[in-house]
Structure 1
Amino acid sequence: MRTMSMLSGLLLGLGLLGCGGANSLSGSVEELFSLEVSRVEVLRNAEALQVSYYRNNGLDVDLVVRLTLATEGLDLKPGAKVNLAGNTPSGVARATVVHLAAGEPARVFAPVERGDLVLDEGGGIDQPTRGNFSLSFQRGEAYGAGRSLEGRFSSTAMDAGFGPEPTPLP
């Protein structure tokens, strides 16, 4: 009986690993760099939702992937599927992706060709925010061109604001 219980626990654990954790990345961009994630940070303000995936790398912390979603013209709410391709009404890219490993230059990915993001919960400042995205990048010469990226995220959305007001000089 104990063996059966241990076997059930092992199968459950393997099943969860197969689905990826609450904060995970996958896709063909893994051919360019590791998609291992240590923590995720979600920032929110009136203009964007930003999901940053970090990885502890010895003494450094790499920004594995940062997905920024420009929210102009969107009603960002749980359950709604958001198209990540194209531009906002004012012409800004709807979604941008960046990678920054310690000691390397920041790498901005090719424009998103197609993809979507869905919030399962939250999305507002100070709210537990959970969701997923899946996208592919346009073919061409830009970094990550023709590759895919998928991610799951879960974190409390922090206020990105626009920075604190400068302290007045005496």
Structure 2
Amino acid sequence: MAKIHVSTTINGEPTEFLCDAADSMLDALRDTLGLTGSKEGCGTGDCGACSITLDGRLVCSCLMLAAEADGHEIETIEGMAAPDKLHPLQQKFLESAALQCGICTPGMLVAAKSLLERNPNPTETEVRFWLAGNLCRCTGYDKIVRAVMETAADMREAAR
């Protein structure tokens, strides 16, 4: 079977890779490109652990074919932090103990960042709704929701 050439931008960097027609974007990220931050929790798009953004839209990378990335921009959890500083959401998750085993954390962070980019002043209900596609089996959701809400408030304050 012939390999497919994909030319894309991942975390701001032009990237090219070869994949099989049936390869998921999650497989390409983890196995081909060595970006192992996105996790496979279910492989069916039900848990959110593999969440990435595609042209700014939140998607489950386990449901996306790698070939579909051609010509598009992708951001993964690896692209969230600056080289020398965590993203405010990552910092707040650490400070608030909003993570435990780490399987859901990348997807939660990518989803939360996507929410705050669209709505910098979400209600608790909006945060819970936005994160509903991400399953956590360790922390429950209160610390995670609180961390997102506090980050939103901190980011609004910093923007003043």
Per the TM superposition, whether the score is higher than 0.5 is no
**Larger proportion of helix:** 2
TM-score (ref. length: structure 2): 0.25
Larger radius of gyration: 1
Higher fraction of strand: 1
